[in-house]
Amino acid sequence: MPSPRQVFIAVIGTGGVGKAFLSQLSQLASTLSRSPSNPTTISLIWVSTSKKALYHNDYQPLSNWETSLPTSSTPPLPLPALAEYLVKAPGKVVLVDNTSNQAVADSYPLFLTQGISIVTPNKKAFSSTFALWTSIFSAASNGTGSGGYIFHESSVGAGLPVISTLKELVETGDSVVKIEGVFSGTMSFLFNSFQPVSGGGGKFSAEVAAAKAKGFTEPDPRDDLNGLDVARKLTILARLAGLPIESPTSFPVQSLIPKELESCASGDEFLARLPEFDAQMDELKAAAEKEGKVVRFVGSVDVPKGEVKVGLEKFDTSHPIAALKGSDNIIAFYTKRYGDNPLIIQGAGAGGDVTAMGVTGDLLKVLRLLQ
């Protein structure tokens, strides 16, 4: 049995995804240490939140971060100092960003150019300015650079194989014609309840309140209803399909926040006044029903036309987008090779475990490449 190689892991963020990832990492570390052909010692050397950090100057692996971190009095290093710390580790380093923080995202080129690889579900890194996108992929070894590797499967559809599939379609020379789907678990749940294919469904405001009560929305539901989360995902997919989209606000995005409620001081005030607009939503529903259709909140990319859009559309009740269940996502790739019947991927697109799974899968990809 060959002597094991060592790879160092630094994790930022210990929320729902961060916790699930760290649990998957500990299981993975145990498997990899026993690999007969390529045994690997995974050393967790850094865990931080926005307020606290856990690390040793001599890169000794952390034990029991869950009990130690809450009692730690060490603030996290500033990002450039973190990069400096990681670069000096005696081996290859992978940074796992489990936050949705813009400042961390902005620092990716700094880490990558110094040979540190990154895996992350952080949408902001790939859906902010096109300049940041370019700067990330011109630094990364799996872009056009010679730095660390970067993977971000969970930035769209959580653990569903959306980004890897789109990349493979493009890299093997297929022509992607259109990408269409439901990209938000919240929006999926809201519209599957508001207008089920079997008929019925509640008032829109009541469904929003119910979704919030079930923990299916952001703490302030306006952060889902403004469409920005979906716009960020479409920005990522459109860029992977070759379109130089400037930002998630550079194409039409329909917000479900009525103009009159844009000035609400709080999410609670917004929720209290939302019933005033139920009649409008019921009209949309009735209009769709008349055509034998249902309303869904979707995003689409028309590659040849270079058009991206996000908003409400009507679908036949027999359409896979209409038949979606619960809070599932669905993504359809229409390509030259697949013809009229698209390649479809469907399933849970949110949740700690499945999001972390995408991150762990990306870590495995990096480990294979870091030979």
Question: Which residues participate in the annotated binding site?
Answer: 13-18, 99, 123, 218
Phi and psi of 191, rounded to 5°?
A: -80, -30
**Known binding-site residue numbers for NADP(+):** 13-18
Tokens representing 368 are 């294979």
Report yes or no: 85 and 53 within 8 Å, Cβ to Cβ: no
Kindly tell me the burial class for residue 1, based on how many C-beta atoms sit within 10 Å of its own C-beta (0-12, 13-18, 19 or more).
exposed
The helix/strand/coil state of 7 is strand
Report yes or no: 25 and 9 within 8 Å, Cβ to Cβ: yes
Q: How far is the CB of 62 from a copy of itself (least distance, A)?
A: 20
Q: In what order do the strands lie in the sheet with 53-55?
A: 53-55, 40-48, 5-12, 92-97, 117-119, 150-151
User: Does the annotation count 305 as an active-site position?
Assistant: no
Q: How far is the CB of 46 from a copy of itself (least distance, A)?
A: 21
Residues 114-173 that bind a copy of itself (CB under 8 A): 141-146, 159-161, 164-165, 168-169, 171-173
**Known binding-site residue numbers for L-homoserine:** 218
As a whole number of angstroms, the distance between CA 215 and CA 238 comes to 29
* Residue 214 binds a copy of itself, judged by CB under 8 A: no
At a CB cut-off of 8 Å and minimum separation 6, what does 333 contact?
A: 165, 166, 169, 176, 178, 179, 342, 343, 344
Residues 173-202 that bind a copy of itself (CB under 8 A): 173-174, 197
Q: Which of 92, 124, 212, 233 is the catalytic position? A: 233
Q: Could you say which of 199, 215, 219, 339 contacts a copy of itself (CB under 8 A)?
A: 339
Each residue 22-61 as x (binds a copy of itself by CB under 8 A) or -, in order, gives --x--xx--x---xxxx-----------------------
Binding residue count for a copy of itself, defined by CB under 8 A: 53
* Residue 16 binds a copy of itself, judged by CB under 8 A: no
* Residue 318 binds a copy of itself, judged by CB under 8 A: yes
Q: Would you name the residues annotated as active-site residues? A: 233
